[in-house]
Structure 1
């Protein structure tokens, strides 16, 4: 299926479902929807970092320290977190990501980079001790970076603004 045709739940400011529409329509109309962010670490504690392909609908070519994506219509955040992590990392049999917190992302940058305006964002964490084979259509570069190196790269690389917002909240959450 074309990603723009995937059906998403449209939600209100309290994260209650108020309708459904294809992803492309949700983005074009800047309707609020749901997304998951999964921080994947290897057993050594390094963080999976990747660069999104230039064909992505949202924030193409940007770096991200999370795997994840939109929550499909009728799908739970937990199910979406596991599905998206396994898809983007190219693994199966991943343990269920641990839910950490939820926040409403409303970034100035969202519309300028093909985003859908705002989205409820649930942040998770998982340890992946499986060999990763990221989806070529989603990710064009990846590495597990020590947290210190990730911190150094924050000012150097162009990051997804929603991932950066989730990462800053994650650091404050700890």
Structure 2
């Protein structure tokens, strides 16, 4: 089950994968990033936007960071400027990693109650399950982005955790 070591490892992985995917996506034109590729959220751009929105809403619930604007239905339009997104994503990945380093080990015990706009009601779930949701959600949608990037001719890095570069292990 998730603990401080798990969240620190996954925060490092999140940072690595986002750097890899965004470098690959940045090699494409805006039109290529925004092209409907038949994915759940249509495009590379919209899927990256949804991931970022999801990260922000979960970290708001976990750590009290600012909530993203809009609800889940607005999540695919969250990126307004590619250049600003690249800066904001990098900064937020650092926020996730700092939280992982600073979180009290006791935080993982107990439940979290929040209102889910996705299903329109209040929910209460164990924090350990919700931490897994944060990182699983990222990984799931980043896999879609990786496939779209590869199909577009971009070259993102490997995605296997054991192959994470050493430079991320010291963060």
Q: Is the TM value for this pair above 0.5?
A: no
TM-score interval, smaller chain:
under 0.3
Q: Which has the higher strand share?
A: 1
**TM-score in terms of structure 2 length:** 0.23
**TM-score in terms of structure 1 length:** 0.23
